[in-house]
Amino acid sequence: MANIKVTSRASNIEYAIRDVIPYAEQVLKEGRKIYYLNIGDPPAFDFTVPQHVKDALCKAVQENSNYYSPSEGLLELRQAVSSKEKRVNNVDISPQDVLITEGISEGIQMALAAVVERGDEILFPGPTYPPYISYTKFFDGTPVSYETVEKEGWQPNVDDLRKKITKKTRALVIINPNNPTGAVYGRKMVKEMLDVAAEHKLLVLSDEIYDQITYGEEFCSTASLAKDVPVVGFNGFSKAYQMTGLRLGYMYFKGKGTELENLRLGIEKECRIRLCANTPVQKAGAAALNGPQDHIKDVVEKLRQRRDYAWKRLNEIEGISCTKPEGAFYIFPKIHEVGKRWKTDMQFVIELLRETGVLVVNGSGFDPIYGAGHVRAVFLPPVPMLEEALSGLEQFMKKKK
């Protein structure tokens, strides 16, 4: 029998959003319905990839654009990204500043692989998108969360952020609009965070994949305000363009200096060892950015209605409270009896699933400090489906009172 040793780095990987799926599969085996409120996947509901994007993908395949493309990405897509960032976010970058990735998660992995050495610290908002925690640990670094304040709409506590910086801190992560809370950081807040980064000479990693999904609050791209602070921006096509399963994203580098250029070159080498992103999908991505954008307004309006319903309905349930999300399509309610009726938020999630079929994600999976005692749910489903799921949650809460 082979002597196979699995590394601790692989065995210890956690990703809360999908780690709850095995529990759902057990419930499915019983022939029961599942309300999937765990994954931010618009096409799993009633959102579709725009027709001109689908047409571009099919055309690319039919015209035999099925070859390996440059590791850094097709020039036409990098040009489209450059134009989009200027048009939408007032960020001036050249196509040469852009690298194309297979989804934003690959970009996060590559960037942290290039930045983190053993013992290095990465500062991220608590709660945060889980890969920032998991990949930092994967590369033997230490994830450190800075507080975001629930009573203030999950806005960052800049004083706490400043206190968390040490000699080992290598980068500051900003997720705006935020996943999982839906918070949107305005110009003043982003500027304050950049000032802290400048004071401590930190690289900023800015995740902006929900930049076009906001409900009124002012969104301000980090790189548009950065002067002497180097910024690596992450974005992609899964949310505004509903291209989740097509796996396409990008990162860009904004700033001057040899160190940032060396970082870009190092990540470009990582791009080479995985060959390239899907070539026909890159063609579709260029069409997405260069083509009609009318669908985004419709998507946001549809989501606004579902956001308003979910927020109101959740706050009507005894034992639950939540702030109103101002961006993305997540809501992050607090379950007040966690720590009393339920020992952990994960216990709450499992019991809720088994008794009602409603699948949400434990908040501690987004940060064990500032996410604990909460759950994350998507408000992507149509209102009638949300009504069924949240009525199930309400009955569950009454039963457990």
Q: Check: CB of residue 391 under 8 Å from CB of residue 374.
A: no
Q: Is residue 316 part of a domain?
A: yes
Pick the last residue of a domain from 290, 319, 346.
Answer: 290
pLDDT score, position 278: 93
Tens of pLDDT along 384-401? 999 999 999 999 998 877
In 239-378 the beta strands, taken as DSSP E runs, fall at 249-254, 320-321, 330-331, 334-335, 358-359, 361-362, 375-378
Tens of pLDDT along 211-220? 999 998 789 9
Is the pLDDT at 3 greater than 90, yes or no? no
pLDDT above 90: percentage of residues in the chain: 84
Q: Check: CB of residue 379 under 8 Å from CB of residue 306.
A: yes
Is the pLDDT at 14 greater than 90, yes or no? no
Tens of pLDDT along 159-205? 999 999 999 999 999 999 999 999 999 999 999 999 999 999 999 99
Pick the last residue of a domain from 275, 290, 305.
Answer: 290
Tens of pLDDT along 325-347? 999 999 999 999 888 888 999 99
| CA angle in degrees (0–180, nearest 5) for 94-231-193 | 140
Co-location of 227 and 374 in the same domain: no
Is the pLDDT at 237 greater than 90, yes or no? yes
Co-location of 240 and 357 in the same domain: no
The stretch 124-149 carries a mean pLDDT of 94
Half-sphere exposure of 144 (CA within 13 A, CB side): 21
Co-location of 339 and 326 in the same domain: yes
Co-location of 353 and 247 in the same domain: no
Q: Check: CB of residue 169 under 8 Å from CB of residue 203.
A: no
The stretch 269-273 carries a mean pLDDT of 93
Co-location of 44 and 58 in the same domain: no
More confident residue, 401 or 53: 53
Co-location of 76 and 211 in the same domain: yes
pLDDT above 70: percentage of residues in the chain: 99
The stretch 133-149 carries a mean pLDDT of 95
- In DSSP terms, 174 is beta-bridged to 206
Residue 301 belongs to domain with CATH number: 3.90.1150.10
Residue 107 belongs to domain with CATH number: 3.40.640.10
Co-location of 209 and 358 in the same domain: no
pLDDT score, position 25: 80
pLDDT score, position 17: 67
More confident residue, 63 or 24: 63
Is the pLDDT at 10 greater than 80, yes or no? no
What total number of domains does the chain contain?
A: 2
Pick the last residue of a domain from 256, 273, 290.
Answer: 290
pLDDT score, position 16: 62
Six token digits for residue 282: 């890159």
Co-location of 12 and 101 in the same domain: no
The stretch 275-292 carries a mean pLDDT of 96
Q: Is residue 1 part of a domain?
A: no
Half-sphere exposure of 85 (CA within 13 A, CB side): 28
* Structural domain span for residue 262: 51-290
265: number of Cβ within 10 Å: 10
pTM for the model stands at 0.92
